[in-house]
Amino acid sequence: MLARLARLLAGSTLILGLGCGGPQQVPPECPPTATERVEKKGAKTPGSATVADAEAFLKQVEPELLELWVARERASWVKSTFITHDTELIAAKADEAVMEAVARRAAEATRFDGLKLPAELRRKLDLLKVSLSLPAPRDPKKRAELARIANGMESVYGRGKVCTKYSEKCLTLDEVSEILAKSRNEPELLAVWEGWHKIAVPMRGDYARYVELANEGARGLGFKNLGEIWKGRYDMSGDAFEAEVDRLWEQVRPLYQDLHCFARSRLQAKYGKKKVKDGAPIPAHLLGNMWAQEWSNLMDLFAPGKDAAAVNFEGALKEKGVDPVGMVKYGEGFFTSLGLTKLPKSFWERSMFKRPMDREVVCHASAWDIDFEADLRIKMCIKVNEEDFTTIHHELGHNYYQYYYRHQPALFRDSANDGFHEALGDVIALSVTPSYLTKVGLLKKEGAPGLTPLMNRALEKVAFLPFGLVVDKWRWDVFAGKTRPSDYNRAWWELRRKYQGVAPQKARGEELFDPGAKYHVPANVPYTRYFLAAILQFQFHRAFCKLTGHKGPLHTCSIYQNKEVGKRIQAMMELGQSRPWSEALKAATGEEKMDASAILAYFEPLHTWLRKENRGKTCGW
Ligand code: ASP
Ligand code: SER
Ligand code: ZN
């Protein structure tokens, strides 16, 4: 799922020797050929490993992995679209097989550690070692236990229901999300918020065990803990990566704080200063979203003028009778307008677009690449609204990326870094502007004047930034043992208060497990990718808009129908993961570093307005 972005791969033991061209129990001594002797100059590790061995090794490993990945994707698809005891166990088995193979192969690959190799081979070997999102211990029993826990936690999340006095039946996450988006009845908001957080309580013990087992797996691969593997995928050291992320956050922090200050005062006007206190964090259940990660559902409260409705096209979607498939067609239409391919027939036949009524499924939106060729699918419980319209573009971005890197060798069939995968579809969605919506008949007139569309975007993108950091800052500390199970909830809320400036209405004790109420925690999907994507997509947008010759503010630019931009995007996608991400970034934008100046430039007109609005207020928390 998420293109094997959430790969469950894990570790095991046996270090097999690879002899002169094939796997063997005992490596024989093979005399190097003349060319190999040249290549081997400077090699630190003695022994029989040669460049040709490494090449032969990868020739075996890549098809072997591919076959196991495909089997895992199929099992995982069936489980996620039909959660039962059996499908969960079948999926866990398929995960185990990948975990075992990757760890075995990664261990074997250490044989080439000191060998001077052509860049492509070295990169593949490096990628193999960090490709494990969930490494397992050497012991097969522990490996099975970890695979079962991981699959089980995701299912608990998928099955989660909220029962409150406000509705007769218990509600799904999609249903309570709609209440959080639309209701302004504070006690009801609190009830559904608390109700959803209860679903995570049974995961608490499992999560602690999963951390132990996954860390044991990571250590088996030579990493200090699981967090070090996740941080080790960015062509730099884990410490350097953390520093990068902090640097980017410092760039955008003033913008977030000004948005927070403004939002708090509007919420005070709505709910009163007793509920929303001066100088204090905002209550987490009042921001229109379960995790307070995106605030766009509060446009009615936050629009700069009285024209909030002018950017809302949910009404138009409903009036036109657009159904979930119709929504996806709009998405595809944008990609094809750039000169990119149509989605394959099988995509329309095999995707899951709606919540089925007769079975439990994992509704959290995701994009799949079942056979690593063209069996592309999305899995989503689409509601006809703006938020899902945007998410569809996000998911299709994954599918297009997957489609265009399919010619790469297996180990390169991924994005430049995971932030790129998340950013691709978002770049398209940034071009879903009032003028685009007018063109495709979803807004009557481009009328939405002034800052309203930009505020709408800020509530989605700027509000998200700190949450994009918090999830993994929490997990990095948990994996490193800095946060113990007895402190899970305290540490979670400390980070949410520090970065997001939100807090729960009432104290949350350690009998609860609030991080587990966010999909990516039970599902073991790293999260910093979304923070990176939030920064990167504006760099792409700025560069692509320059290519279109756009004049005027960045937020009014749409790349719709621009074939030049389409070619630029296609070239980047085709590279897959074959080159360091800075090269892919350079090819697409001319820039080599991740840099928040683009997002700041995009929101500058709004930021100027916010500063004025906030004058005389005490900001911060
Ligand atoms: N849209 C979802 C999210 O980003 C899933 C995904 O990454 O595709 O969590
Ligand atoms: N899709 C991600 C999430 O749902 C980031 O927006 O959290
Ligand atoms: Zn995604």
Q: What is the pLDDT of residues 337-360, one digit of tens each?
A: 999 999 999 999 999 999 999 999
pLDDT, mean of residues 18-41: 37
Starting from the CA of residue 380, give the closest ligand: 1
Asked whether 368 and 73 are in contact (CB, 8 A), the reply is yes
Alpha carbon distance, N-terminus to C-terminus of the chain = 38
Question: Which is nearest to 588 in space by CA: 413, 429, 423, 398?
Answer: 423
Give the C-alpha distances (Å, rounded to integers) separating 530 from 135, 464, 472, 477, 525.
22, 9, 10, 19, 11
DSSP string, 82-114: S--HHHHHHHHHHHHHHHHHHHHHHHHHGGGTT
pLDDT, mean of residues 443-456: 81
The SS3 assignment for 425 reads helix
- Nearest-CA residue for ligand 1 atom 8 is 366
pLDDT at position 447 is: 65
Q: Using CA atoms, how far apart are residues 192 and 212, in angstroms rounded to an integer?
A: 32
pLDDT at position 446 is: 67
Count of alpha carbons within 13 Å of 507, Cβ hemisphere only? 4
CB atoms within 10 A of CB 305: 12
Residue 519 CA, closest ligand 1 atom number = 9
C-alpha 421 – ligand 2 centre gap (Å)? 13
Where are the strands (E) in 138-205, listed by range? none
pLDDT at position 503 is: 98
Contacts with 339 (C-beta within 8 Å, 6 or more apart), sequence order: 563, 566, 567, 570
pLDDT band per the 50, 70, 90 thresholds, residue 28: very low
Question: Which is nearest to 600 in space by CA: 256, 299, 242, 246?
Answer: 256
Question: Is the model's pLDDT at 497 over the cut of 80?
Answer: yes
- Cβ of 367 less than 6 Å from ligand 1: yes
pLDDT at position 309 is: 76
Q: Using CA atoms, how far apart are residues 429 and 532, in angstroms rounded to an integer?
A: 16
pLDDT at position 11 is: 28
The two counts, helices (H) then strands (E), for the chain are 24, 6
Residue among 364, 382, 418 whose CB has most ligand 1 atoms within 8 A, to mutate: 364
Q: What is the pLDDT of residues 78-134, one digit of tens each?
A: 999 999 999 999 999 999 999 999 899 999 999 999 999 999 999 999 999 887 799
The SS3 assignment for 548 reads helix
Question: Is the model's pLDDT at 536 over the cut of 80?
Answer: yes
pLDDT at position 305 is: 83
List, by residue number, the catalytic residues: 364-365, 394-395, 398, 422, 520, 530
Starting from the CA of residue 378, give the closest ligand: 1
- Nearest-CA residue for ligand 1 atom 3 is 365
- Cβ of 418 less than 6 Å from ligand 1: no
C-alpha 365 – ligand 1 centre gap (Å)? 6
- Cβ of 379 less than 6 Å from ligand 1: no
C-alpha 129 – ligand 3 centre gap (Å)? 23
pLDDT, mean of residues 501-508: 97
Q: Using CA atoms, how far apart are residues 267 and 121, in angstroms rounded to an integer?
A: 55
pLDDT at position 92 is: 97
Asked whether 552 and 562 are in contact (CB, 8 A), the reply is no
Question: Which is nearest to 294 in space by CA: 465, 154, 450, 435?
Answer: 465
393, amino acid identity: H
C-alpha 310 – ligand 3 centre gap (Å)? 28
Percent of the chain's residues with pLDDT above 70: 92
Residue among 2, 80, 389, 518 whose CB has most ligand 1 atoms within 8 A, to mutate: 2
Q: Is 306 exposed, middle or buried (0-12, 13-18, 19+ CB in 10 A)?
A: exposed
- φ, ψ for residue 392 (rounded to 5)? -60, -45
- Nearest-CA residue for ligand 1 atom 6 is 366
Asked whether 276 and 268 are in contact (CB, 8 A), the reply is yes
pLDDT at position 448 is: 55
Whose tokens are 């061995």? That residue is: 53
C-alpha 124 – ligand 2 centre gap (Å)? 29
Residue 422 CA, closest ligand 1 atom number = 7
Q: Is 604 exposed, middle or buried (0-12, 13-18, 19+ CB in 10 A)?
A: middle
Domain ranges in the chain are 5-153+208-234, 161-198, 313-447+528-590
pLDDT band per the 50, 70, 90 thresholds, residue 545: very high
Q: Using CA atoms, how far apart are residues 457 and 444, in angstroms rounded to an integer?
A: 20
C-alpha 376 – ligand 1 centre gap (Å)? 15
Question: Is the model's pLDDT at 22 over the cut of 60?
Answer: no
Q: What is the pLDDT of residues 288-334, one digit of tens each?
A: 999 999 999 999 999 998 777 777 899 999 999 999 999 999 999 99
Percent of the chain's residues with pLDDT above 90: 87
Question: Is the model's pLDDT at 36 over the cut of 70?
Answer: no
Q: Using CA atoms, how far apart are residues 461 and 453, in angstroms rounded to an integer?
A: 12
Q: Using CA atoms, how far apart are residues 107 and 61, in angstroms rounded to an integer?
A: 12
Q: Is 151 exposed, middle or buried (0-12, 13-18, 19+ CB in 10 A)?
A: buried
Question: Which is nearest to 531 in space by CA: 457, 463, 459, 602?
Answer: 463
Question: Is the model's pLDDT at 18 over the cut of 90?
Answer: no
Q: Using CA atoms, how far apart are residues 56 and 48, in angstroms rounded to an integer?
A: 14
Question: Is the model's pLDDT at 13 over the cut of 70?
Answer: no
C-alpha 3 – ligand 3 centre gap (Å)? 9
- Cβ of 2 less than 6 Å from ligand 1: yes
- Nearest-CA residue for ligand 1 atom 1 is 365
Choice among 135-144, 448-457, 569-578 with the minimum mean pLDDT: 448-457
Question: Is the model's pLDDT at 5 over the cut of 50?
Answer: no
C-alpha 136 – ligand 1 centre gap (Å)? 25
Encoding tokens for residue 12?
């095991």
Residue 5 CA, closest ligand 1 atom number = 7
Starting from the CA of residue 381, give the closest ligand: 1
Q: Using CA atoms, how far apart are residues 215 and 195, in angstroms rounded to an integer?
A: 31
- Cβ of 365 less than 6 Å from ligand 1: yes
Question: Which is nearest to 560 in space by CA: 444, 458, 428?
Answer: 428
- Strand 282-283 and strand 502-503: the pairing is parallel
- Nearest-CA residue for ligand 1 atom 2 is 365
- Cβ of 433 less than 6 Å from ligand 1: no
Question: Is the model's pLDDT at 25 over the cut of 90?
Answer: no
- State the chain's mean pLDDT as an integer: 92
Starting from the CA of residue 294, give the closest ligand: 2
Q: Using CA atoms, how far apart are residues 545 and 538, in angstroms rounded to an integer?
A: 10
Whose tokens are 């995960």? That residue is: 95
Contacts with 576 (C-beta within 8 Å, 6 or more apart), sequence order: 405, 408, 412, 413, 414, 415, 416
Neighbours of ion ligand 3 (CB under 5 A): 422
pLDDT at position 361 is: 97
Q: Using CA atoms, how far apart are residues 426 and 537, in angstroms rounded to an integer?
A: 7
pLDDT band per the 50, 70, 90 thresholds, residue 274: very high
The SS3 assignment for 465 reads helix
Q: Using CA atoms, how far apart are residues 185 and 288, in angstroms rounded to an integer?
A: 11
Give the C-alpha distances (Å, rounded to integers) separating 606 from 126, 324, 453, 554, 559.
43, 33, 10, 12, 22
Q: Using CA atoms, how far apart are residues 307 and 300, in angstroms rounded to an integer?
A: 9
Starting from the CA of residue 388, give the closest ligand: 1
Residue among 1, 157, 381, 394 whose CB has most ligand 1 atoms within 8 A, to mutate: 394
Q: What is the pLDDT of residues 38-78, one digit of tens each?
A: 344 444 445 689 999 999 999 999 999 999 999 999 999 99
Q: What is the pLDDT of residues 549-574, one digit of tens each?
A: 999 999 999 999 999 999 999 999 99
Question: Is the model's pLDDT at 171 over the cut of 90?
Answer: yes
* Report field, pTM of the whole predicted structure over 0.75: yes
Q: What is the pLDDT of residues 208-246, one digit of tens each?
A: 999 999 999 999 888 999 999 999 999 999 999 999 999
- Strand 502-503 and strand 17-18: the pairing is unpaired
Asked whether 15 and 107 are in contact (CB, 8 A), the reply is yes
